[in-house]
Structure 1
């Protein structure tokens, strides 16, 4: 077997493998005997087909399979002996006839690249700082209150009042209307409805429609022009101006629950009332702040790593990652109920840039972890699992769920590993702290 490895440039390599066809004789005989035991042929009982007919039927197939298997075995033996850092599986190309005495294969493969780590001390990253105070807690509780909103007709007295003296539709009110739209005096498809319900200010309707409804009382009508945007989803009316007439059937004002112990109980707070609810809301917001700040810092660090480190990217790894991304996209389509998602053509080319970036970062991280001993420890993995489990009602069950599945544990290990890399990187880089509000933090990608 030749052991000279030919350099084809960058990461591509080739080695020629040779072995005697006679070395496969015993394995060939055994394979044909096994096939003969199950072979069926007219005129013969199962397993009683003559040897020469088995040879005629399966001989070339067995030669092909055994020769590829032998070439693969020799290649991986060579890779182990020569300590070749393989980037993927080799492509085996036969260079001899099946019946040749000496079988020759070329093994074409890629090796992992050398990663040139840049000077992290020259990098600058931003770490955001956000404090959760009463205003943020109040806004979060308002969101929870709006989830329990219900409506009452304006002017109609009830347990929660009558909504005030103003009977006209206001922002936040729920209105029920009939409407009809015409273009050049002719009604158009989709331009008419009865008892149509929506909430003013939620953005469900076009702005002109909402503006025309504001200020109207139950029983009142209004006619107004509405110009559909050129990119409106309804192609028949896109870019055209219609004349709408609306008639308000009812105007209903929103009633939000009071922030009291009963509301806290409805939110699952069985003890401690409003004070305990506010504490839990703050805890959840603090957790969200930590998650977003960590994610933003991670994204920035990964971008810096990508720009500061130099390496050639193995084509085979990129191709594998593209296929993985295609499959992930297909699974997403299936979960969303897209018809014929299994057969929808998804070009691998659309994932080329994303796959290349992922492979680059994976190789950079792998090299850093190895060089700086940044691998996740069992204690770190346990701490991360415990922290995630603490947000659930039964933390012990969540911990058991993580440890019962190797793939889940691997996800946690990768999470900790990335955190270790971030800590190492930021220990060398220039980190600028920037204080921003929770609202500003929420808008950052």
Structure 2
């Protein structure tokens, strides 16, 4: 067995080997002998089937097993020559040549491995930014909103008609073409006048009504209404105004602070304002991080560091991006691609640069996370999936199982590590100021 293994660059290697036919025959004999010990064939005692019979019946499979065993030996010796461990290898080795000749099998294997990345000076890639400021006006506005939310509405005792800003408690029933609208009725419905919660024209026609009064109002559903059967249709609603409620001017005092800061020993309005200021600052910082700084940081890191990329991982990323592209294509476009393989090659080539950037970013994030000690355990991933599923009203266990079946958990984990790392780096920059 002759083997020549060489590194093409710092992430890819090529192995050329010549496997003697005598090696294959020797392995074939050994496999057939082992198989004969366990075979049950009519006319022969178990373990006593002649090797010649075994080879005659299972010859093709035995030969393939022998060739596979020889390839494994080539692969193991190649790793030894290259000074690589199995843990360094990314994906499966690709057998790009397997040429059977009279005396030898000439084979070529391509191997991709994890590149080493010099991260020196990575701090320079973190963009400059200013910590967001929070004005007194913003704090007062948020405080008033919170106080209003904590102040329940009260029944209007004054004998006056419904007006903008009031809360109307109504019963209603809707009709289109004299047929009742499915889901278009309710009792004791709470509607704030001016909120725009109902279709245009509905709330405006309630203004001026008094408690106990009934009225039929006419409206037209918008052309872009989500229910296509109702879009653009004229409708009538029989409405009864049962009660008018109003919100009193909220009291902003230490009692409010006690309600909003139940875990504080001595809650005051001033302390509440401090907490609100911290909250608004945190919201602004999160928005700045997610919408501007994190994308910029990734872009800077990709531009700053240059290293060889594993070819098979780049090809996998091209496959992913190609599939995303195909899902958005029309049937005519897909037909053209099926009939013209060169078009597919062109499309793959057009996605190569984007795929390389994506793979590069993944390796940088992975290396930086190890350097900075950033980890995400499996339990964190499950908790995140559960939380997001519940937020969307989905069954968390079903969502988790679906992700498992689709093999998405590693990608979700990597995305969480990336987000955690970028937040960590930006926070370090902020603390250093």
Query: What's the TM-score bracket when you normalise by the shorter of the two chains?
Result: 0.5 to 0.7
Tell me how far apart the structure 2 counterparts of residues 174 and 416 of structure 1 sit (CA, whole Å): 46
Corresponding position: 1:92 with 2:83: no
Which residue pairs with 2:173 in the alignment?
179
Aligned pair partner of 1:127 in 115, 126, 129: 129
Cα pair 1:137 1:278 within 8 Å, conserved: yes
Which residue pairs with 1:252 in the alignment?
245
The one-character-per-residue Cα deviations of 1:308-353 (angstroms, maximum 9, x if unpaired) are 77889766324544788999xxxxxxxxxxxxxxxxxxxxx9xx79
Which residue pairs with 1:74 in the alignment?
74
Which residue pairs with 1:301 in the alignment?
297
Cα pair 2:171 2:186 within 8 Å, conserved: yes
Which residue pairs with 2:359 in the alignment?
359
Which residue pairs with 1:190 in the alignment?
182
Which residue pairs with 2:313 in the alignment?
317
Q: 1:230 to 1:130 in 2, by over 3 A?
A: same
Tell me how far apart the structure 2 counterparts of residues 259 and 42 of structure 1 sit (CA, whole Å): 95
Say what the alpha-carbon RMSD is for the aligned residues: 5.6
Q: Which runs of 5+ in 1 are unaligned?
A: 156-163, 328-348, 389-405, 427-432, 434-445
- Which structure features the higher share of helix residues? 2
The one-character-per-residue Cα deviations of 1:28-66 (angstroms, maximum 9, x if unpaired) are 566556656665666778767665555456553343244
Aligned pair partner of 1:220 in 210, 213, 226: 213
Aligned pair partner of 1:273 in 267, 276, 292: 267
Number of residues of Structure 1 aligned to a counterpart in Structure 2: 364
Q: CA deviation at 1:71?
A: 2.4
The one-character-per-residue Cα deviations of 1:83-117 (angstroms, maximum 9, x if unpaired) are 799775432145245x96523323246688999x9
Q: Secondary structure at the match of 1:127?
A: coil
Cα pair 2:174 2:235 within 8 Å, conserved: no
Q: 1:91 to 1:301 in 2, by over 3 A?
A: same
Q: 1:12 to 1:259 in 2, by over 3 A?
A: same
Tell me how far apart the structure 1 counterparts of residues 29 and 161 of structure 2 sit (CA, whole Å): 95
Cα pair 2:5 2:78 within 8 Å, conserved: no
Which residue pairs with 1:400 in the alignment?
none
Cα pair 2:16 2:108 within 8 Å, conserved: yes
Aligned pair partner of 1:233 in 205, 226, 230: 226
The one-character-per-residue Cα deviations of 1:124-155 (angstroms, maximum 9, x if unpaired) are 96624322354444444455556656444332
The one-character-per-residue Cα deviations of 1:200-229 (angstroms, maximum 9, x if unpaired) are 255432232233334433333444443333
Q: CA deviation at 1:180?
A: 2.0
The one-character-per-residue Cα deviations of 1:228-247 (angstroms, maximum 9, x if unpaired) are 33322211222334344433
Q: Which runs of 5+ in 2 are unaligned?
A: 324-346, 381-409
Cα pair 2:166 2:244 within 8 Å, conserved: no
Cα pair 1:212 1:222 within 8 Å, conserved: no
The one-character-per-residue Cα deviations of 1:356-388 (angstroms, maximum 9, x if unpaired) are 552242356679x6xxxx96245xx59x99xx9
Which residue pairs with 1:340 in the alignment?
none
Which residue pairs with 1:376 in the alignment?
371
- Stretch moving more, 172-181 or 71-80: 71-80
With structure 1 as the length reference, what TM-score do the two structures score?
0.58
Cα pair 1:375 1:417 within 8 Å, conserved: no
With structure 2 as the length reference, what TM-score do the two structures score?
0.59
Cα pair 2:214 2:240 within 8 Å, conserved: yes
Tell me how far apart the structure 2 counterparts of residues 424 and 153 of structure 1 sit (CA, whole Å): 53
Aligned pair partner of 1:264 in 255, 258, 264: 258
